């Protein structure tokens, strides 16, 4: 059941010394136990803040950290929130008791470290139902399909990884971020253990969880390293985490909180603006450079059918960064496009490659590419942007090309992540009471499933984002080949399941049943 309502609020924008009215509309989400589990509020300006929207998310427990996150657009907070915020600023570790052991779990994608890792890494990725979502009835096909697609794609992916030195830099970079975050937390008087849990490669989330248990962590802050939330990234990692928590007595009793997205934090926005400012200065005529935000895409159906907030968060993030640059008197032209699509389905548009060509045709001469959906260098910055898109830009008439580096361990950024962790501490375990009331919820402390349900309630069936067959010459041929391949895999499976013999049993994908 969803209840909606709206109210007008008077707001003060500190960065522009300007006040204005905003209309807040809210959606109260009540689950089958009649327990309020989420209050989603979208605030739109009534006057004053042109082109601006302020999204305020207010959910009990896991969502509450966002209430106190620093927005470029400050808002008046209720007296209880004000009290909480100021308490935290004065004495952040007031929320850590004597025998508490604080842990921070950084969630990330993971990447192959060697060329041998590429196919099994791809298998893990495609075996994820949040990447390829099969109809429930065909769930048993997930692993055989993942095997099939990963083998088919491995050689192309290997070429990419070979060209960036034989593997992904993600593990190294994420480990370095974890270490810097640990140090920054110590500097802010919050000693904490920081763990890295990857979704598709080592160190797997399960490995991080084992360490968390061995270290006896009592309070855990879960921080996905994706600034914007997508069902396919943070959502997938959180869903996995929830399934691990559900089955483990230690974890069920460990207080925790999740920061689902943090693209709106002032520290992150300012760090991105700093990087852009530095790179712009390297151009001959900085004012003439078009700032080209390039985000990793998702299939359109994620946004339109499953309600993924990714696109909205991305657009708002770009707006915040541009606003920050305008405050610094930098008013370059800018655009946002989406890269890295795979397979025959439609992804978020405009596509980065097509946009580059169009900009060239329009006579744009200088482009500064800004990777925006990820905070580490990875194959899609080092190969796709630096090599493929640069080449395309040059062929399209663009003469000057630059690229903003990923944030990595940039000190202001790391310091802001540490602040995000500290600001979330008062909410660690905040769901305890309400969750105990709703004993049927899957995770007693925190409520990841409910977070996902708020975006992706029906877990809508989505078309596969990838080719199921690799012999296509045209898009429609690929689609048909895909369908034929699907049927072939099905037939293979039927034979295997009925006879108990075949390749999938041989690979260990299907269990051998002894009669
Ligand atoms: C916010 C970032 C990302 C989103 C959203 C995302 C969605 C998404 N990705 C695929 C398929 C592939 N992704 C691959 C690599 C990869 N993806 C991201 C980030 C997002 N993905 C990163 C950072 C990386 C690189 C990791 C590294 O090793 O450096 C790959 C493998 C590489 C390749 O073969 O091209 C695939 C495949 C889908 C289908 C999807 C949304 C449904
Ligand atoms: Fe991806």
226 lines ligand 1 (CB under 6 A): yes
Q: Give, for ligand 1, the residue of 111, 114, 173, 232 to mutate: max count of ligand atoms closer than 8 Å to Cβ.
A: 232
106 is a domain residue? no
Ligand 1 geometric centre to CA of 408 (Å):
18
Model pLDDT for residues 280-338, shown as the tens digit of each residue: 999 999 999 999 999 999 999 999 988 899 999 999 999 999 999 999 999 999 999 99
Domain boundary residue among 365, 388, 403? Answer: 403
Q: SS3 of 234, please?
A: helix
Domain boundary residue among 355, 375, 403? Answer: 403
Interatomic CA distance for residues 9 and 23, integer angstroms: 6
Residues 474 and 390 in one domain: no
Out of 248-257, 433-442, 446-455, 496-505, give the one with best mean pLDDT. 248-257
ipTM: 0.95
Model pLDDT for residues 138-190, shown as the tens digit of each residue: 999 999 999 999 999 999 999 999 999 999 999 999 999 999 999 999 999 99
482 is a domain residue? yes
Q: What angle do CA 114, 120, 122 make, to 5 degrees?
A: 95
Ligand 1 geometric centre to CA of 367 (Å):
24
Residues 270 and 379 in one domain: yes
**Confidence (pLDDT) at 365:** 98
Atom of ligand 1 nearest to the CA of 297: 5
Residues 303 and 387 in one domain: yes
Listing DSSP states for 464-492 in one string gives -SS-S-S--SSHHHHHHHHHHHHHHHHHH
| Residue 443 CA to its chain's centroid (Å) | 21
Interatomic CA distance for residues 504 and 242, integer angstroms: 29
- pLDDT above 90 covers what percent of the chain? 55
**Confidence (pLDDT) at 253:** 80
| pLDDT at residue 264 greater than cutoff 70 | yes
393 is a domain residue? yes
| pLDDT at residue 344 greater than cutoff 70 | yes
233 lines ligand 1 (CB under 6 A): yes
CATH number assigned to the domain comprising residue 297: 3.40.50.1400
Banded model confidence at residue 136, pLDDT cuts 50, 70, 90? confident
| pLDDT at residue 89 greater than cutoff 50 | no
CB 129 within 8 A of CB 235: no
Domain boundary residue among 403, 422, 441? Answer: 403
Interatomic CA distance for residues 463 and 345, integer angstroms: 7
pTM: 0.76
Count of domains observed in the chain: 2
24 is a domain residue? no
Atom of ligand 1 nearest to the CA of 228: 1
CB 100 within 8 A of CB 218: yes
| Residue 338 CA to its chain's centroid (Å) | 14
450 is a domain residue? no
Ligand 2 geometric centre to CA of 256 (Å):
27
392 is a domain residue? yes
Ligand 1 geometric centre to CA of 128 (Å):
12
**Confidence (pLDDT) at 321:** 98
Mean pLDDT of the chain: 76
Interatomic CA distance for residues 346 and 305, integer angstroms: 13
| pLDDT at residue 85 greater than cutoff 70 | no
Residues 471 and 391 in one domain: no
Q: Supply the range of the domain harboring residue 325.
A: 266-403
Residues 160 and 275 in one domain: no
Residues 276 and 369 in one domain: yes
**Per-position b or e across 252-288, b if 16+ CB within 10 A of its CB:** eebbbbbbbbbbbbbbbbbbbbbbbeebbeebeeeee
378 lines ligand 1 (CB under 6 A): yes
Residues 388 and 497 in one domain: no
Model pLDDT for residues 193-205, shown as the tens digit of each residue: 999 999 999 999 9
Residues 156 and 279 in one domain: no
CB-count exposure of residue 318 (10 Å: 0-12, 13-18, 19+): buried
| Maximum distance among all Cα pairs of the chain, rounded to whole angstroms | 76
160 is a domain residue? yes
Interatomic CA distance for residues 211 and 487, integer angstroms: 43
Q: SS3 of 396, please?
A: coil
Residues 368 and 480 in one domain: no
Ligand 2 geometric centre to CA of 366 (Å):
27
Residues 399 and 471 in one domain: no
> What is the average per-residue pLDDT within 457-482?
48
* Residue 207 vs residue 434, higher pLDDT: 207
Smallest CA-to-CA distance from 288 within 246, 332, 339 is with 332
CB 450 within 8 A of CB 31: yes
Ligand 1 geometric centre to CA of 208 (Å):
21
Strand partners, 371: 294
Listing DSSP states for 257-284 in one string gives EE----TT-HHHHHHHHHHHHHHHTTSS
79 is a domain residue? no
Interatomic CA distance for residues 357 and 403, integer angstroms: 17
């Amino acid at each position: 059941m969803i209840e909606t309502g709206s109210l007008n609020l008077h707001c003060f924008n500190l960065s522009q010394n300007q006040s204005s009215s905003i209309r807040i509309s809210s959606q109260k989400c009540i689950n089958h136990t009649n327990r309020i589990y989420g209050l989603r509020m979208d605030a739109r300006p009534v006057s004053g803040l042109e082109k601006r929207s302020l999204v305020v998310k207010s959910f009990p427990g896991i969502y509450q950290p966002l209430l106190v996150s620093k927005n470029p657009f400050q808002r008046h907070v209720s007296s209880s929130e004000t009290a909480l915020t100021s308490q935290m600023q004065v004495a952040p570790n007031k929320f850590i008791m004597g025998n508490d052991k604080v842990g921070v779990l950084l969630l990330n994608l993971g990447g192959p470290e060697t060329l041998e890792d590429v196919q099994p890494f791809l298998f893990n990725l495609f075996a994820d139902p949040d990447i390829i979502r099969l109809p429930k009835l065909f769930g048993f096909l997930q692993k055989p399909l993942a095997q099939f697609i990963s083998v088919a794609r491995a050689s192309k992916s290997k070429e990419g990884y070979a060209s960036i030195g034989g593997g992904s830099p993600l593990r190294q970079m994420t480990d370095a971020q974890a270490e810097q975050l640990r140090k920054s937390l110590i500097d802010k008087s919050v000693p904490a253990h920081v763990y890295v849990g990857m979704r598709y490669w080592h160190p797997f989330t399960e490995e991080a969880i084992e360490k968390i248990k061995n270290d006896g962590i009592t309070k855990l802050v879960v921080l996905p390293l994706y600034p914007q939330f997508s069902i396919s990234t943070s959502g997938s990692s959180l869903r996995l985490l929830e399934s691990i928590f559900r089955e483990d007595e230690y974890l069920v009793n460990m207080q925790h909180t999740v920061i689902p997205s943090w693209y709106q934090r002032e520290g992150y926005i300012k760090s991105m603006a700093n990087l852009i400012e530095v790179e712009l200065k390297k151009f001959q005529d900085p004012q003439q450079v078009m700032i080209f935000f390039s985000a990793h895409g998702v299939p359109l159906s994620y946004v339109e059918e499953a309600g993924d907030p990714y696109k909205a968060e991305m657009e708002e993030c770009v707006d915040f960064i541009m606003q920050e640059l305008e405050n610094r008197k930098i008013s370059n032209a800018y655009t946002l496009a989406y890269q890295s699509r795979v397979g025959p389905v439609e992804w978020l548009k405009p596509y980065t490659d097509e946009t580059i060509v169009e900009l060239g045709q329009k006579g744009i001469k200088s482009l500064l590419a800004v990777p925006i959906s990820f905070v580490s260098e990875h194959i899609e910055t080092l190969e796709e942007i630096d090599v493929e898109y640069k080449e395309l830009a040059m062929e399209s008439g663009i003469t000057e090309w630059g690229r903003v580096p990923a944030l990595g361990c940039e000190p202001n950024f790391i310091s802001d992540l540490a602040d995000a962790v500290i600001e979330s501490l008062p909410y660690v375990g905040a769901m305890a009471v309400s969750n105990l009331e709703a004993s049927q919820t899957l995770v007693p402390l925190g409520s990841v499933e409910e977070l996902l349900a708020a975006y992706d309630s029906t877990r809508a069936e989505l078309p596969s984002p990838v080719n199921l067959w690799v012999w296509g010459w045209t898009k429609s041929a690929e689609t048909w080949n895909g369908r034929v391949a699907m049927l072939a895999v099905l037939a293979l499976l039927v034979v295997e399941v009925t006879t108990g013999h075949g390749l999938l049993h041989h690979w260990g994908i299907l269990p051998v049943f002894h009669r």
